[in-house]
Amino acid sequence: PKYFSFGKSTINILHTKLRHNCILNYDLYRRNIIESPNCICGQKEDVYHFFFVCKNYVNARNNLFELPVLNRLEETILINSRLLLWGSDNLSYYTNCFIFSAVQTGRFNN
């Protein structure tokens, strides 16, 4: 989709790497690149952990989920890692761009 290229190039690359499972410790561990799938907090570092669990990123997570676009969406659609990484065909281009913007500013800038 066109919105996959939304945002600044360097941050968009991070978003794409997450989408394609090639940046977090669990992803690298599965490819025998590193020896442990764990985050520095001790838990398995996968996409769910990255967005919803890690205690090291509480402020970043709060920033992400306090953004108005995600607050409004929570009333009508489930916010999960798939939506944050891939967007949704059921949403407009602009709504998907707003979601990607929220992820890229609320999570990657912290």
10-43 confidence digits (pLDDT tens):
888 888 988 998 899 999 999 999 999 999 999 9
Q: Between the CA of residue 6 and those of 13, 23, 36, 90, 100, what are the distances in Å?
A: 10, 19, 32, 18, 7
Please count the residues of the chain: 110
Q: Can you give the pTM of this predicted structure?
A: 0.83
- Confirm whether 3 is domain-assigned: no
pLDDT digits (tens, 9 = 90+) for 43-98: 999 999 998 999 988 888 888 888 787 878 877 788 899 999 999 999 999 999 98
Number of structural domains in the chain: 1
Q: Between the CA of residue 93 and those of 17, 26, 65, 100, what are the distances in Å?
A: 21, 31, 20, 11
- Confirm whether 46 is domain-assigned: yes
- Confirm whether 14 is domain-assigned: yes
pLDDT digits (tens, 9 = 90+) for 81-93: 999 999 999 999 9
Q: State residue 73's pLDDT score.
A: 82
- Confirm whether 2 is domain-assigned: no
Q: Which domain holds residue 18?
A: 8-106
